[in-house]
Every structure is written in structure tokens, then in C-alpha cells.
Amino acid sequence: MKAVVLHEYGGPEKLVFEDHVSEPQVSGDTVLIAAAAASVNPIDWKVRSGKRQKDIPLSLPVILGRDVSGVVRAVGANVKHFKPGDRVMALSNATYAELVAVDDSDVTHVPDGVNLADAAAIPLIALTGDQLVRHAANVQKGQVVLVTGALGSVGRAAVHSAKKIGAQVIVGVRRKDIEAARSLGVAGVLAVDDDEAIEGFRLVDAIADTIGGDAAAKLMGKIRQGGSFGYASTLAEDAAAQHPAVKITRVQARPDPSKVREFADDVRDGKFVLPIGRRMPLRDVAEAHVLGEKGGIGKIVLLAPDSEPADRE
């Protein structure tokens, strides 16, 4: 099959599009997906560069990618809920490829009305944002939560989940993005690059952080005693010591196909908007990584060879 292979850590140029990669094997509980698309996520370039070797060790060569959407090619003998021809999506691994093998327990159907290729943008960001809010930040109905980086894909998913829980949502963005952030329909907006604004900010019950860095460290002082700080990026090593009264938890997205389907249904119904910044051929993945690392363009979808980008069912 055709796939993108990483043979050594380094820059985007280390991603090699190859024509004769071994196809994945199907076991009794596996769904083999003929990919329509994958998508690019920050974890992809962090792993590619070697920055995450300690917590995500790889055995090179390897195929990167966490999201896939496509059509079922074949199923294992024990699979009951999927059949060849079904439109599906999943959070998985090795998705920069024509064929992706996924445990059936991690797969869900793409609802009618959602573009098949664009569905590949949903799984990882939906699960990261939702689990950031529900589990890492432990947001409850009626609480006040600050979601940082709210115009990013994970941030948008976190805002969506927090609102569905019934929390009062305030979003943190850069000053230049304040007006755009108001369109998210939230209770308030904070400029996270404005020290005076942070200093005068109210105490909140929880923070769901997607930006990390100095801003995140400053904001931790705005969580009430006993509150929670969930994060998806990086955090200063001494953060926990400086804020002993705050519960600090990093999100690690886990497969949850029912939640992925819930987000897809909300996309179909116009309740959740996930901007797609670019649709590019899989073979242009190196360029996609360059664009992704620059940021600011929305999700990047990688169209598999021979996929049908015009699918608008």
C-alpha cells in the first residue's frame, strides 16, 4: 500500500511517501479501513521531531497519524457491528496510510450528512478536548471554567463539552482574537497575553488549558482553593509545588467511539463548528507539517490516494 513512513527523527523532510509499504494485518476483532483521509495534529510533529521520545518511544521506521476516516474494506471474524462498505472513523495509530487496521471497539460510523474526508478531523481533537474538560479539569455543571486557546481545534472541542455539561465558560485567547472568540457564545473572554487582564481576572473553579507556557503558569493562581487545572500542552516543572491547593492533571486522550460519534452528530447538526483550514494530498504531508507548526489555519486534512474528496453524503 501507499503510506508515509518516518525512518528517523527530524524535520518534516523526514516524512517519506512510499508506494510499497506492507499492509496491516486483520485479526478477529479488527476493522480494516480503506482510508479517505487522516488529519494532522500537534502530537504528530512533536513525535516526528523526537521531542516526545521519553513518553512516546517509537520503534523506527514507523507510520505516524492518529485520526482516520474511510470505508470498511474487511472485518475480522468476531466483528459484529461493521461490514464492508460502511463509512467509519476512529482514533487509532499509523493512519498516514491507504489502509488502517483498527480494533472494532474503537470504531464508529460517520453519520450521513458529514463529509467522509472531513470526518478525519474529528476523533483526536474531540476526545482530547472532551476528556480535558470532563476528566483532567473535572468540570461540573454550574461551575465556572476558563478554557484557554479556545479558537484552536482542541480548545473549541473543550468549550463545546464544557457548555454541554452546563458550566459557565470563559475563554482565554490572545488580545487580537478577542472579537473572534466572542462568536463561540461564551460568558466572557480573557486576553491571556495581557498581564493586567490576568491580574484582575476573577477566581474560577477550573481551567482547561491548551496553550501551556508562561500564560498557563500565571493563570494557575486564578483557581480557587481545591479547584482543578487540566492541561493538554506543557507545564512548568515547579507548577505543582507553587500551587499545592490545585489539582493538576494532564489529559491523555483515550478512545471513546460513542463520544466521537456524538461530536460528529453535532457537526452534522451545526452545533459544533470545526474549521478545516486545508485539504491536502497525503503525499504532501511534509508541507502539511510545516503549515501545522506555523499554526493559525485550522485543521489540516490529508486526503488518501484515490479517496473521494467530493463525498458530500
**Distance between CA atoms of residues 135 and 208, nearest Å:** 10
Decide which of 124 and 237 is more confident. Answer: 124
Instruction: Write down the pTM of the prediction.
Output: 0.94
* pLDDT beyond 80 at 139: yes
**Distance between CA atoms of residues 134 and 163, nearest Å:** 11
DSSP line for 32-83: EEEEEEEEE-HHHHHHHHTTTTTTS---SSB---SEEEEEEEEE-TT--S--
pLDDT tens, 233-254?
888 778 878 889 999 999 999 9
Q: What is the DSSP letter of 89?
A: E
Predicted confidence band of residue 109 (pLDDT cuts 50, 70, 90): very high
Cell digits for 221?
493562581
Predicted confidence band of residue 312 (pLDDT cuts 50, 70, 90): very low
Predicted local confidence at residue 311, as pLDDT: 40
Per-residue pLDDT, averaged over 56-61, amounts to 91
Decide which of 58 and 77 is more confident. Answer: 77
3-state secondary structure at position 24: coil
- C-alpha 87: how far from its chain's center? 20
Residue tagged 503558569 (cell numbers)? 217
Beta strands in the chain (DSSP E): 3-6, 15-18, 30-40, 67-75, 87-91, 99-103, 107-109, 144-148, 168-173, 188-191, 204-209, 223-231, 247-250, 276-281, 299-303
Rg of the chain over all Cα atoms, to the nearest angstrom: 20
Per-residue pLDDT, averaged over 96-100, amounts to 98
* pLDDT beyond 90 at 309: no
Predicted local confidence at residue 310, as pLDDT: 40
